[in-house]
A and B are shown apart, each in its own frame.
Chain A
Amino acid sequence: MNRIRDEIRRRRRTPVASPLDATAEAQAADRSPLEEIIGKELLEKYDRALEQLDPEARDVVIARIEFGCSYAEIAETFGRTSSEAVRKSVSRALVRLAEEMRDARSVSV
């Protein structure tokens, strides 16, 4: 999954075509599309929280949240018994992620 994560890092650095006007494009030139959408501060807090998860939890979060993989695909890739088992793993991992992001309260919700 590290290679998948590397790919999305590349996407973060690569501008995506969007109907932004020329001025907005210029202003956004030094920010990735994901930073524009989520916000740099929150994205950095998310990344730091993600690094605190155990590798298994981190992988399912990346696969589901960042890449939109189906539960069946995640089960297949990681040799899990069922999609339902993966679904529960993702939910548990997101609660763990939320625990790590409690320190991110300075970001308005």
Chain B
Amino acid sequence: MRDQSLFDAAGRIADGEMVDWPTVTSTASSHDERILVDGLALVARVAAGHRRLHELLPEDQRPDFDRARWGHLDLLNVVGRGSYGTVYRAWDPRLERLVALKVFHRSPHPEVVMREGRMLARVRHENVVSVYGADVVDGAVGCGAAGAGR
């Protein structure tokens, strides 16, 4: 059983908050846990690097989609935004079901994202989001997935 302070530190890393490493190290009860703190410090560096990368992204690569429709899907609301694109809760009138739609930023290589979407559409596994379609609308690549909730 790991010390709770390790999970607390991991939570702070995930939230981009500062970690009091000397305190975390002092609570490590064994050599194994002290080495684990070193591993967490490496994870923190990786996480900080990704946050820095997001800050460096040019304006035109940031989310700017605010459309009511994408293809035949009616966009209901934004679920989340990221450096890669925007996730919408949408209604598919053909299937008559709610879906999650991820619209990627305009990519110079939309075929790469499309290919990934098509490959994923063939995968059915409990740990993989089931993708039922991928398309390009006005140059924007999107993938539709089941499980948009209510």
Contact = CB atoms under 8 A, between A and B. Distances in A.
If over half of B's interface residues share one DSSP class (helix, strand or loop), that class is named, otherwise mixed; here it is: helix
Interface residues of A, number: 54
B148 to A, nearest CB: 7
B128 A77 contact: no
Interface in B47-84: 47, 49-54, 56-58, 79-80, 82-84
A76 B43 contact: no
A56 B42 contact: no
B14 A3 contact: no
Interface of A: 1-4, 6-8, 10-11, 16-18, 33-34, 37-38, 42-43, 45-46, 54-56, 59, 64-70, 72-73, 76-79, 87-88, 90-92, 94-95, 97-102, 104-105, 107, 109
Interface of B: 2, 6-8, 10-11, 13-14, 35-43, 45-47, 49-54, 56-58, 79-80, 82-85, 87, 89, 100, 102, 104, 107, 109, 112-113, 116-117, 119-120, 127-129, 131, 143, 145, 147-149
